[in-house]
Amino acid sequence: MAEQAAMKILLIALAVLSALWLLWRRLAPPAGMVFDLDDPRMEVAKQQARDSLPEFWAALDANAPGDSDFGLKFDLNHGRGLPDRELIWAMGISRNDGIIRGSLANPPINPAFRQGDMVEITPDAIVDWCFFRNDVAHGHHITRLMIELSSPRQARQARQALGW
């Protein structure tokens, strides 16, 4: 009988911990920088990225030896009928027969997805792009804005990681 009582207590404790973890995950603030939906700086950065997207596609198609780490930042929730936007990076980008695919590079907030999931990216959902050419990052229009708003130490570390 004591073993059964101990097992019940253990199961109840696990259920409570699981519920608390799920609640924490749901209510935790987003991991990255958060901008107002109508932030004009963000809109300018996204438009610059969209305007220069042909540079990304040309580099991806060229497959030059010094080019690597092709990524697209896009709205994961675009076209899914969800009220919130979730801008997230996908890496390992491919484009075949007009279909764009990539692997989620960050842990998403949307619980239907996991980091590493292969996703299809709608062109209208793309807000930024990146790739490295000889260890120097290209694109990263939103990242540049985020660096401007970061502490000097964080900005210096980011620029160094991007080869700037």
Which pLDDT value is given to residue 163?
Answer: 94
Helix (H) or strand (E) holding 95: strand 87-96
Which pLDDT value is given to residue 11?
Answer: 61
**What tokens does 30 get?**
């987003």
Which pLDDT value is given to residue 4?
Answer: 76
pTM value is 0.75
| Sequence-distant (≥ 6) Cβ neighbours of residue 89 within 8 angstroms | 71, 72, 73, 104, 105, 106, 130
Which pLDDT value is given to residue 28?
Answer: 42
Per the model's pLDDT, the better-predicted residue between 81 and 69 turns out to be: 69
Q: How far apart are CA 33 and CA 154, in angstroms?
A: 13
Which residue type occupies 72? L
pLDDT digits (tens, 9 = 90+) for 10-60: 667 566 655 554 444 444 444 456 666 678 898 999 999 999 999 999 999
Which pLDDT value is given to residue 74?
Answer: 96
Residue matched to tokens 């050419």: 133
pLDDT digits (tens, 9 = 90+) for 102-158: 999 999 989 999 999 999 999 999 999 999 999 999 999 999 998 988 889 999 999
Mean pLDDT of 56-78: 95
